[in-house]
Structure 1
Amino acid sequence: MKHQVPPIATIVPRMAMSLDKVAIALDVSPNSVLKMVEEGLLPRPRVWGRRKLWRVVEIDAALAEWPTDGEQQGDAGEPGRWDAD
């Protein structure tokens, strides 16, 4: 039996994602991602020319600040806001 070489996408770590891929990863629509960014729940994308990319580590850090189900929310009654600092 011959071993197949895995496609490059499976061996190169993903560092950033486009709007559509962020939406797929979060199981929401692209419009929902943009709304979460507006509300401060997700980071703003990085920009290179006209291309916008979200860093995977920043999305993960932002999600870690969201309350878990059954957990009390902050004083303002909103989940944690994204803060790059």
Structure 2
Amino acid sequence: MKHDSSPLAMTVPRLAMSLTKVAIALDVSPTSVMQMVEEGLLPRPRVWRRRKLWRVAEIDAALAEWPTDGEQQGEDGEPGRWDAE
């Protein structure tokens, strides 16, 4: 897909991102993103046909639940785990 740098494209909010873009946004590899999903630290992607997309709002909500540096772990000994429920 070609990157659109038109003024309109720059004002349209991004609602969802591909695996590659999530990895870039988090400054990690796509493999690390998938590990975070499997560990429950990030939500699973939404699926349309064969395309997988992560909602930006869900990524943001998940990150807000992560512990900050120096914060104690939860009662179960695990850092904050993201859960849509």
TM-score (norm: length of structure 1): 0.89
1:79 is aligned to 79
Alignment of structure 1 residues 1-80 onto 2, 5 Å:
7=6, 8-80=8-80
Runs of at least 5 residues in structure 1 that lack an aligned partner in the other structure: 1-5
Per the TM alignment, residue 75 of structure 1 is displaced from its structure 2 partner at its CA by 1.8
In structure 2, what is the Cα distance between the partners aligned to 1:20 and 1:79? Answer: 25
After TM superposition, the runs of 4+ consecutive aligned structure 1 residues lying more than 6 A away are none
Secondary structure, counterpart of 1:58 in structure 2: helix
TM-score (norm: length of structure 2): 0.89
Percent of residue pairs identical: 81
Aligned-partner residue type, residue 13 of structure 1:
P
Q: Output one character per residue of 1:24-80: Cα deviation in whole Å (capped at 9) or x when no partner.
A: 000000000000000000000000000000000000000000000111011222221
In structure 2, what is the Cα distance between the partners aligned to 1:80 and 1:51? Answer: 28
Higher Cα Rg, which structure: 1
Runs of at least 5 residues in structure 2 that lack an aligned partner in the other structure: none
Secondary structure, counterpart of 1:28 in structure 2: coil
